[in-house]
Amino acid sequence: MASVVVNGGASYAPVEVSVPLPKAPRTDINLRLHDNGPNITLFLTTSTPDASSSVPLGSLVYAMPNMATPSQPLSTPLFTHSATLDFTTRLSKVLARRTGKPIYVSSSMSFANAGMGGTVEEEMEGFKLVVQVVMDLLNKQKQ
């Protein structure tokens, strides 16, 4: 059972969504989003039907809007895993800027199973998809 937190006028239960990774139909991006009013938490991972091993924890990054320079959010890694740190940092900054709220982003996403083995283009498509899905979910919760 999902718990509902009432804080700062928001009372949203966490939302869990699975979307297919672009150009890799057997790989899904799994996300868990929780907007509890003053801040947002987002957990990301990828999964495949034939995955037999466990996935590393990934990175956890905190980002918040920069009131002095709104186009440059501030961020700090709280837990690092070198393979996911850059993606997680970039994602947390984009979402902090777009939402205007502090956000915790945890990601253990892997693009190794994507069609071309995890190229920059595939990673950027996944990045754009996550931003689009998260913003759509947050906008839907506001209504």
pLDDT for position 77: 97
What share of the chain in percent tops pLDDT 90? 57
Query: Is the Cα torsion angle 38, 135, 95, 88 positive or negative in sign?
Result: positive
The conformation of residue 122, written as its DSSP 8-state character, comes to H
pLDDT for position 13: 85
pLDDT for position 110: 83
pLDDT for position 10: 54
pLDDT for position 120: 84
Name residues of the chain where pLDDT drops below 50.
1-9
What is the Cα–Cα distance from 117 to 20, expressed in whole angstroms?
Answer: 16
- The CATH number assigned to the domain with range 15-141 reads 3.30.230.90
pTM of the predicted model, to two decimals?
Answer: 0.86
DSSP letters along 73-98, please?
Answer: -EEEEEE--TTTHHHHHHHHHHHHHH
pLDDT for position 26: 80
Q: Cβ of 127: how many Cβ atoms within 10 Å? A: 16
pLDDT for position 21: 82
Q: In what order do the strands lie in the sheet with 74-79?
A: 15-21, 24-35, 40-47, 103-108, 59-64, 74-79
